[in-house]
Amino acid sequence: MVKKILTVITTIISLLFPTKESVYIKDHIIDISFIPVNIYWIDDSNILLCSYGQTFIYNTITRGKNEIETCEKCIYGFDQGLVYCKYEHRVISSTKEFSTTIYVYDSRAKLLYERNLFPTVLPYKCTKRYISLRPAYSFLERKEYVLDISKDSFKEVSIESKQKIFNGITKKSTVISEKVDLERLIVLDEYNRIWVYVRE
Amino acid sequence: MFPAILLSSILALNPVWESKERRLSWPNYGDGYEYVVQIFTDREYTQLYIESETTTNTWIGVTLYDTNLYFARVRYSNSETEDEDYFPLGQFYLNLENGYLGEDIIYFPPLEEDEEVEDLIKDLEVDDEKKDTDDFIYSPIDERDQLPDSGDGESVLGESTKAKELCRIFLFKEKGEVDASFRCDLGVELKKVEYINWGEYFTLEIKGTYFKSIPSYVKIYECKKRTVTDPSTWFGCKKILVDEYIGPLPLRFVGNIQVDGKVYPNTNWGFGDTEFFVKAKFRDDISRKDVRLRLELSSYVKGKEWIDFLAYIRKTLITGKAKAPDSNKPFSFPFEKYIGVSQWHGCTVYQCPHKGIDFGSYKEKVLSIGDGKVVSTGYDKYGGQCFQGGRYVIVKHINGMHSTYFHLDSYSVKVGATVKKGSVIGVSGNSGKWNCQRLGYHLHFETRKNRYSSSHVNPIEYIDADWSMVPTLRYKLFPGRLSGDNPHPSF
């Protein structure tokens, strides 16, 4: 009964004093020539833009940009500091063999973790706790995997394609990263331009 | 004293150029012809359309009230002969504040009337007679626009920009918005306009060049805060110079086709380092419509703070009558409809060489690309347990070439059967394996000079299709898919 009364009161209050919805507006275009595979928020303003060939630390306020030295067959990530995941692939002749080896290093190139796997996969999200992976070649069946480092487990996970709706972001654009407090968004538009949006 | 201040304030609020007359004339098509002038313009991204009354004269005078870009054409018609067509009257730009009217097409030109910019206005002032001439509009930047020598003999404008003229840009910031005003050579030139009738649809392809950056001298203005001591701030915005920037200005373009004022959605485009192309597909013939290339330019400058701005460039396109596709390729597309590609032929980032084209088809009917005879079918295990081509069909064509179809879900022909161009030979699937892994649904399709896989050739060279309508699938997620012998490397 009390719960019902509280719900009614809350509803009445929310109708009388509607909270203003957040609206996002374009701030600027990030001037890079690639679409990041992943983006990590390092702090309030800095993000790590990662792809397999190029990695940048980018300040979403000052627009300062620093390229990180490229590592071969690897992708950078961030987890209380820079990390990177290296991968090696090999040709196999039966499913009893492994076709992928994953290594996780910290920023001082100290090996943190190593694991042999089947199938042939690529890391796309690299942290000290877990790694997200996809089939290494785009002509292979579309799947997603997670390598849980703390449990040393590797499993297939369902593919999530849900996208949050943010006021001010058009349907043709995709929110590819959001700051934890949702003050800033990184958005890929229909022309493959990458924008920083800010909450008004 | 007071009337003088009042007068100057009124003048500041009411610019001298409230409207501008323009005479539009066209050829005389003979007796019995009537003419209607149509003028198109944009306002806040909406197309406005004005039509004159019918006349038998070969000119009219129009009064324009907005600072904007205008496009005009005249429809001439003869009710007796039922002849009707359009004659383009060109495009012109009107800036009411400066009385600037010409054939150029750069967007947004707010110019100022305050003391800070008086010198600039003087610089731009020309005789009334000269205002409407191309000379004025396209006049090269003269000495007064050159930057002072930096002292060390080197350019202060940076390197690797092909634009030689200094671009003077005026940015006006108000309420978070930035209006950009400039008349500069951005290097945008159309090199090829090709309009093709493919039977069921039409395509318009434009190729051109542009500058990726230009040397610039940017002045940034804002409204001065209202003060009791400055009467010119009492009734409106008094623009004052707040910042300047000298250096290279990056130009980042995206492109679209506009037909009768509407941006056409079905457009592919690509911008390289100096070249661009835009291609659009239409269901109907657009040759008699108002067709324009619309380029959206985004740029930014760093003065005391970052300032981003957008500008638009429009170029009218004369498509002419649609041409028939120019092709003598012997084979047809292996599906009933165009299906996108997940890996192109050639040296791709995934396989080098990739001997065919992978079409991202899910259980689609697969067609023989030409007349011929089925020479092989079966289940391919070229690499044992882990590397398999799956169910396949190989057809030998009458010119001696072979086409191969792998990873089929099923096939419906037998060895020795005669097949016709376009006849169904199977259904695409995901049979087979790669490194012991299941493949995604796709057709691996090859064209070969003979039966051996080593004689593979790029199918694009032999298949009569509009390859610009065959996109690379999900290339945003997998940019590597764009690699190989992709006929359109940016999509």
Q: Is the pLDDT of residue B230 over 50?
A: yes
Number of neighbouring beta carbons within 10 Å of residue B36: 16
Query: Which residue is closest to B296 within chain A, CA to CA?
Result: A191
Distance CA A10, CA A16 (A): 10
Distance CA B171, CA B241 (A): 10
Of A92, A191, A193, nearest to B436 by CB-CB distance is A92
Indicate the residue among B294, B326, B358 that finishes a domain: B326
Quickly list DSSP for A79-96. SSSEEEEEEEE---SSTT
Query: Which residue is closest to A37 within chain B, CA to CA?
Result: B477
Q: Is the pLDDT of residue B449 over 90?
A: yes
Query: Which residue is closest to B482 within chain A, CA to CA?
Result: A138
Q: Which of A13-17, B40-44, B117-121, B475-479 has the highest mean pLDDT?
A: B475-479
Name the token pair of A50: 């990662």
Of A28, A94, A141, nearest to B440 by CB-CB distance is A141
Distance CA B378, CA B411 (A): 9
Query: Which residue is closest to B354 within chain A, CA to CA?
Result: A139
The sign of the torsion formed by the CA atoms of B93, B95, B96, B98 equals negative
Q: Is the pLDDT of residue B162 over 90?
A: no
pLDDT band at B397; cut points 50, 70, 90: very high
Q: CA of B181, closest CA in chain A: separation in Å? A: 19
Q: Please calculate the CA angle B51-B52-B58 and round it to the nearest 5 degrees.
A: 130
Of A29, A34, A94, nearest to B252 by CB-CB distance is A29
pLDDT of residue B110: 34
Of A63, A141, A192, nearest to B476 by CB-CB distance is A192
pLDDT band at B101; cut points 50, 70, 90: low
Interface touch B386/A94, C-beta < 8 Å: yes
Could you read off the pLDDT of A53-69 as tens digits, one per residue? 889 999 999 999 999 88
Distance CA B59, CA B378 (A): 74
Q: Is the pLDDT of residue A1 over 50?
A: yes
Report the amino acid identity of residue B1.
M
Q: Is the pLDDT of residue B128 over 80?
A: no
Asked if B300 and B360 sit in the same domain, the reply is: no
CATH number for position B29: 2.60.40
pLDDT band at B68; cut points 50, 70, 90: low
Q: Is the pLDDT of residue B126 over 80?
A: no
Q: Is the pLDDT of residue B131 over 50?
A: no
- Chain A residues inside the 8 Å CB shell of B386: 91-95
Based on the structure, what is the number of domains in chain B?
3
pLDDT band at A47; cut points 50, 70, 90: very high
pLDDT band at B94; cut points 50, 70, 90: low
Interface touch B300/A142, C-beta < 8 Å: no
Does an H or E element contain B124, and which? helix B118-124
Is the residue at B173 inside a domain? yes
Interface touch B386/A29, C-beta < 8 Å: no
H helix intervals, B205-326: none
pLDDT of residue B115: 38
Interface touch A139/B358, C-beta < 8 Å: yes
Q: How far is CA B84 from the centre of its chain?
A: 30
Is the residue at B398 inside a domain? yes
Asked if B417 and B361 sit in the same domain, the reply is: yes
The sign of the torsion formed by the CA atoms of B152, B158, B161, B166 equals negative
Could you read off the pLDDT of B33-54 as tens digits, one per residue? 999 888 876 554 445 667 788 8
Name the token pair of A151: 């449990």
Query: Which residue is closest to A172 within chain B, CA to CA?
Result: B265
| Of residues B124, B149, B127, B129, the one with CA closest to residue B139 | B124
Select the more confidently predicted residue: B370 or B175. Answer: B370
pLDDT of residue B224: 84
Asked if B108 and B83 sit in the same domain, the reply is: no
Does an H or E element contain B262, and which? strand B262-263
Quickly list DSSP for B433-475. EETTEEBPSBEEEEEESSSSGGGEE-GGGTB-S-GGGSPBTTT
Number of A–B residue contacts, CB under 8 Å: 78
Distance CA B64, CA B469 (A): 41
Chain B residues with CB within 8 Å of chain A CB: 176, 250, 252, 254, 269, 298, 300, 302, 306, 308, 342-343, 350, 358, 384-386, 430, 434-440, 442, 474, 476-481
Interface touch A193/B252, C-beta < 8 Å: yes
Asked if B177 and B281 sit in the same domain, the reply is: yes
Q: CA of A108, closest CA in chain B: separation in Å? A: 30
Asked if B85 and B130 sit in the same domain, the reply is: no
Asked if B220 and B314 sit in the same domain, the reply is: yes
Quickly list DSSP for B299-330. EEEESSSEEEEEEEEEEE----SPBPP----S
Structural domain harbouring B406: 341-482
Distance CA A22, CA A39 (A): 23
pLDDT of residue B409: 96
Tell me what ipTM this predicted complex has. Answer: 0.76
pLDDT of residue B124: 34
Q: If you search the block for the tokens 């990056």, which residue do you land on?
A: B250
Query: Which residue is closest to A124 within chain B, CA to CA?
Result: B477
Q: Is the pLDDT of residue B305 over 90?
A: no
Is the residue at B319 inside a domain? yes
pLDDT of residue B147: 29
| Of residues A183, A196, A177, A166, the one with CA closest to residue A44 | A183
- Chain A residues inside the 8 Å CB shell of B273: none
What percentage of chain A reaches a pLDDT higher than 90?
60
Burial label for B229, CB within 10 Å (0-12, 13-18, 19+), is exposed
Beta-carbon contacts of B279 under 8 Å, excluding residues fewer than 6 positions away, are B203, B204, B205, B206, B267, B268, B269, B468, B488
Asked if B169 and B318 sit in the same domain, the reply is: yes
Q: Which of A10-24, A91-105, B468-482 has the highest mean pLDDT?
A: A91-105
Query: Which residue is closest to A139 within chain B, CA to CA?
Result: B440
- For the segment B409-428, the average pLDDT, to the nearest whole number, is 96
pLDDT band at B117; cut points 50, 70, 90: very low
Asked if B319 and B398 sit in the same domain, the reply is: no
- For the segment B123-128, the average pLDDT, to the nearest whole number, is 35
Q: If you search the block for the tokens 């945008």, which residue do you land on?
A: B188
Name the token pair of B72: 């005009």
| Of residues A21, A12, A13, the one with CA closest to residue A182 | A21
B319 close to B192: Cβ distance less than 8 angstroms: no
- For the segment B302-315, the average pLDDT, to the nearest whole number, is 86
Interface touch A139/B438, C-beta < 8 Å: no
Asked if B275 and B354 sit in the same domain, the reply is: no
Could you read off the pLDDT of B353-366 as tens digits, one per residue? 999 999 999 999 99
Is the residue at B194 inside a domain? yes
Query: Which residue is closest to A92 within chain B, CA to CA?
Result: B435
Q: If you search the block for the tokens 């390598």, which residue do you land on?
A: A147
Name the token pair of A134: 């996809």
A50 close to A38: Cβ distance less than 8 angstroms: yes
Q: CA of A121, closest CA in chain B: separation in Å? A: 10
Q: Is the pLDDT of residue B176 over 80?
A: no
Q: Is the pLDDT of residue B140 over 70?
A: no
Interface touch B250/A31, C-beta < 8 Å: yes
Asked if B356 and B430 sit in the same domain, the reply is: yes
CATH number for position B211: 2.60.40.10
| Of residues A157, A192, A197, the one with CA closest to residue A35 | A192
Interface touch A29/B385, C-beta < 8 Å: no
pLDDT band at B412; cut points 50, 70, 90: very high
Mutation test of the interface with chain A: which of B437, B481, B491, choosing the one with the most A Cβ atoms within 10 A? B437
Name the token pair of B378: 């079966």
A134 close to A86: Cβ distance less than 8 angstroms: no
| Of residues B220, B209, B211, B217, the one with CA closest to residue B157 | B217
Number of neighbouring beta carbons within 10 Å of residue A40: 21
Of A94, A120, A191, nearest to B437 by CB-CB distance is A120
Distance CA B386, CA B389 (A): 10
pLDDT of residue B17: 46
Is the residue at B13 inside a domain? no
- Chain A residues inside the 8 Å CB shell of B479: 34-35
Asked if B370 and B444 sit in the same domain, the reply is: yes
Distance CA B194, CA B322 (A): 8
Asked if B251 and B181 sit in the same domain, the reply is: yes
- Chain B residues inside the 8 Å CB shell of A93: 384-386, 436
Q: What is the DSSP letter of B388?
A: B
Mean residue pLDDT of chain B comes to: 78
Name the token pair of B303: 């003065």
pLDDT band at B280; cut points 50, 70, 90: confident
Q: What is the DSSP letter of B31?
A: T
pLDDT of residue B79: 85
- For the segment A94-120, the average pLDDT, to the nearest whole number, is 93
Indicate the residue among B61, B96, B131 that finishes a domain: B96
Could you read off the pLDDT of B1-26 as tens digits, one per residue? 444 443 344 334 443 445 677 778 88
Of B254, B440, B480, nearest to A140 by CB-CB distance is B440
pLDDT of residue B81: 83
Distance CA B62, CA B219 (A): 34
